[in-house]
Structure 1
């Protein structure tokens, strides 16, 4: 059951990486899966003291506007813990306390009193799936005191989700480069002369461009069956399965259902 939930979340995240209008739905699924009041995806530029929202629809406009002034303060431990903002490290209230060896360090900060507490956010869990060039991308889950701290099982499940998010953000960055060069994301992919198919580690097709769609329709060696990429020739199917397994083994994070292309 938990594996199915992670796969559903991962699929929504990969869809959003190809079509940014899908981020609200993806974050809504994350929010509901972890029983949070807010699931926020955004980037931070510490040098310029800026926040760029990707999807923060759970936050009221006035708090979006005041975030930078409350977050980038000298007493905010969340802004003074670079070791916890390395890619792949899951942050929780307890881990922040342990890092500073100071119980309740966040609850005494201006950020907590001005920004978190007025929204009834008492507990948080976050991760930095991607960082580079002075920019960190964060996914933060915020919940009320009534719901309680994030449990160990939730932390483990969150850890399994973040490699998918890292891959999705990398895909989004690459496609954004194509988009800047001209045209929407889907159109940019369709301009490629090669067929591009994004598939999960288990062969589920997540997206394909126009050339790839034509190849699948023509039955040129590959076919789409039950939503999965398969080879028409049984012998070739074995080779395709081996390629997918090999691609999965080569990923540094070892997540079970990331996209391949």
Structure 2
């Protein structure tokens, strides 16, 4: 019972919310504070109860509970629902909903808990962060130990709400990370980079692709307003940013081409507004009303062939090769040389491609090929 440091345990939970690998040790620390075998978070939604988060010490128990299917036969959850004990903010102990003689005849207690030498349990009930079903943060105790005492229960009452909040935060962070990874992957396929600005135009996030693409075009510092690296572009870029933010008129100029300091081909920059409420208001991030800058290298080579896509539109393989070359800027004579055919053949195939794509000129083909290249 000695050495209880509530703040350290609470801090460990919030640290685990940002680094999932820290959850097992954080839960073990709380279990020690209540003289329990371990700690576990369980959702009471029947569709998700098999998904649990447990301390390392009871990993085998947790596996048996989830993968072994015992979550479907948890008497504590069933009785807790029947007796109205699963209200958010409630502390539960076994004595509240099951008598010792009932335990001796109950399959869950006799076949699951006895197998793992587990006895009494103390739990904190709250609401699930995804679908609002209840969930519990519970401390199972060894069978040879008695009931939880008042001081141990109070420790769970103190720490339980923070564990659940940290779990909610971990859920949200996980969702955001998955969405970010998906967006980053998509942008990488598009050869695009992203710079996120807050409502004051200050840099909040720069994707790895944006760091690479923006080298020589921007001066980027976290927490500062970005600048054009080429002095001749600075005034024009400053006006572009001002129009993209809440104080400007959106959208007056949604795109801009920037020159690279020291020479090089231009970089295409598109500004898109960040609408809706700030996802991190307590942190004062100022993201509501900010903007996203999307960077594109207009001359980047295609990362994959687009001819199969053109064939889906009815072009033959030969017509698709010609359309891709001419759409990327090759004159018919140069395309003929690359394909080792006559220029008249290329022009005939190009006319056929125009008809099948319902376009009439090379500029329209160039737009189509550029957009297919960016997919």
Q: Secondary structure at the match of 1:45?
A: coil
Q: 1:118 aligns with which of 111, 115, 120?
A: 115
Secondary structure, aligned partner of 1:72 = helix
Query: Could you tell which deviates more after superposition, 33-42 or 60-69?
Result: 60-69
Once the two structures are TM-superposed, the CA of residue 113 in structure 1 deviates from its matched residue by 0.9
For 2:164, the equivalent position in structure 1 comes to 166
How big is the shift at 1:94?
A: 1.4
Pair 177,145 (structure 1): closer, same or farther in 2 beyond 3 Å: closer
Match of 1:85 in 2: 86
Give the Cα–Cα distance (whole angstroms) in 1 for the partners of residues 48 and 170 of structure 2.
23
CA displacement 1:46-100 (0-9 Å, x = unmatched): 2x37410223432353762355633423x82432322222221111011123xxx
Choose 1 or 2 for highest CA Rg. 2
Contact 2:27 2:39 in 1 (8 A): yes
CA 1:104–1:133 in 2, change beyond 3 Å: closer, same or farther? farther
Deviation of 1:4 (Å): 6.2
Q: 1:193 to 1:138 in 2, by over 3 A?
A: farther
Q: Is the 8 A contact 1:63 1:115 kept in 2?
A: no
Structure 1 residue 9: Cα displacement: 0.9
Q: From the superposition, tell whether residues 85 and 152 of structure 1 become closer, same or farther in structure 2 (CA, over 3 Å).
A: same
1:178 aligns with 2:176: yes
The structural deviation recorded for 1:173 is 2.5
CA distance in 1, matches of 2:123, 2:76: 14
Alpha-carbon distance in 1 for matches of 2:117, 2:6:
27
Aligned residue pairs total 192
TM-score by length of 2: 0.44
Which is bigger in relative contact order (C-alpha 8 A, separation at least 6)? 1
Residue range with higher mean Cα deviation, 132-141 or 117-126: 132-141
8 Å contact from structure 1 (residues 13, 165) kept in 2:
yes
Q: CA deviation at 1:3?
A: 10
Give the secondary-structure state (helix, strand or coil) at the position aligned to 1:84: coil
How far apart in 2 are the matches of 1:180 and 1:56? 24
- Which aligned pairs between 1:54-133 and structure 2 lie closer than 5 A? 54-61=53-60, 64-67=63-66, 69-73=69-73, 76-82=75-81, 83-97=84-98, 102-131=99-128, 133=131
In 2 relative to 1, CA 80–125 (structure 1 residues): closer, same or farther, beyond 3 Å? same
Distance in 1 (CA, whole Å) between partners of 2:33 and 2:196 is 37
- 8 Å contact from structure 1 (residues 128, 138) kept in 2: yes
Q: TM-score, normalised by structure 1?
A: 0.62
Aligned twin of 1:230: none
Contact 1:17 / 1:171 at 8 angstroms: preserved in 2? yes
Q: Secondary structure at 1:35's aligned position in 2?
A: coil
CA distance in 1, matches of 2:160, 2:58: 22
Pairing 1:43–2:43 present: yes
**Contact residue 44 and residue 137 of structure 1 kept, 8 A:** yes
Unaligned 5+ segments in structure 1 are 185-190, 196-208, 216-259
- Paired with 1:121 and 1:158, the residues of 2 have a C-alpha distance of 18
Counterpart for residue 250 of structure 1 = none
Give per-residue Cα distances to partners, 1:200-234, cap 9 Å, x unaligned: xxxxxxxxx989xx66xxxxxxxxxxxxxxxxxxx
> What is aligned with 1:19?
19
Give 3-state SS (helix, strand or coil) of 1:150's partner: coil
Question: Over the residues paired in the alignment, what is the CA RMSD in angstroms?
Answer: 3.4
**Is this contact kept in 2: 1:70–1:114, CA < 8 A?**
no
